[in-house]
Amino acid sequence: MTDFLQYAPLILLFSALSISPALLILAFLLDLAIGDPGWLPHPVRIIGSAISKLEILLRRLFKTPSHEKVGGILLVIAIIISAFGITFFICKTISYLPIHPFTHSPIHLIGIILIIYLTSTTIAVRELVNSARAVIEAVTNSNIESARERLSMIVGRDTHALTEKEILKATMESLAENLSDGVIAPIFYLVVGGLPLAMAYKAINTLDSMVGYKNDKYIHFGWAAARLDDIANYIPARITGWLIVASAFLVTLFKNTHHSLLVTRHSFRTMLRDGRKHLSPNSGVTEAAMAGALGIRMGGPSAYGGIVVEKPYIGNVRTEDYSRASEQAIAIVKAASILGIATALTVLFFKGGA
């Protein structure tokens, strides 16, 4: 206990709007170790519950299309301010704890653990990889119904009629998109504004996933959530695209250097060429970089609630082995996550020394 607590000042060396390298790496390692266990309270689940309850209330007050948009704006403001404010209060309170190298008081240890845990909940490397691998394993075992069911838990499209190839393609698209939303973007906002800003980003992302749809129910009510999510992800998505390009090089480097250079070039060129084709201004960048690295074609028609949406195709077909490509996608996600955290730690190191 004493050995741990003597390093507490390094871990808690943060203001409410900044984070120390030690805290960030510990949170990243904790996410890799435990992910998102259902028995622990998770801020995103709490945010999701708050969104559902507040939506019901606001829809009772704002019923016409124009009023729905106002209600959606109020929902976004209330949820984001709450997420930021509560997290700021927690961080501020814990940062005031009197940490002494040889103090044995449990309150010190509890404060450290709480901040590490809350920070880890903003990052989702383990859950991203595990959810994708669950789908891939079901396809590998020819359990198509299980694969469709597992896929439906990580994508918004209809999955009941997808073929094995379409399931794997959707999984790889999800890996590319959620690498940005679930890993790189939270790390980016942790570096920029500490845990409160990262939690505010998670609130924005959760709002978009719950109400940011362009269907009859949410086209007006979810307008603000969808627009704000596009803005919040603009820079992180482009960082993620570059990390995918770099990771494509690294994961193939020791197998075949010449092939590694080709894969990197394909990833880079596809990102530049097809990154703007996607209906989303951000998802297209990461999907194009991943499609180019894997040699597959993403996009195409997808059904949402029985309605087919024609999406532009992204990437060129260089392989029909989607099972191998999906495993390669997981390897790229892991490498990009490590590169992302290494980059963040480097920025924090120089930021702290400035």
Residue with tokens 């999510």: 229
> pLDDT, tens digit, for every residue of 115-151?
999 999 999 999 999 999 999 999 999 999 999 999 9
Residue 12 pLDDT level (bands cut at 50, 70, 90): very low
Q: What is the DSSP string of 14-51?
A: --TT---HHHHHHHHHHHHHH---TTS--HHHHHHHHH
343 backbone dihedrals φ, ψ, rounded to 5°: -65, -45
**Nearest partner of 296 among 336, 332, 340, judged by Cα:** 332
Instruction: Decide if pLDDT at 5 tops 80.
Output: no
Using CA atoms, how far apart are residues 259 and 132, in angstroms rounded to an integer? 26
CA atoms within 13 A on the CB side of 278: 26
So where are the chain's domains?
2-353
Using CA atoms, how far apart are residues 135 and 171, in angstroms rounded to an integer? 7
The region, left, alpha or beta by phi > 0 then psi within -120 to 50, assigned to residue 192 is alpha
Count of other CB atoms within 10 angstroms of residue 243: 25
More confident residue, 306 or 298: 298
What's this model's pTM, rounded to 2 decimal places?
Answer: 0.92
> pLDDT, tens digit, for every residue of 30-55?
999 999 988 889 999 999 999 999 99
More confident residue, 92 or 100: 92
The CA-to-CA distance between both ends of the chain, in Å, stands at 32
Percent of the chain, pLDDT > 70? 93
Instruction: Decide if pLDDT at 82 tops 70.
Output: yes
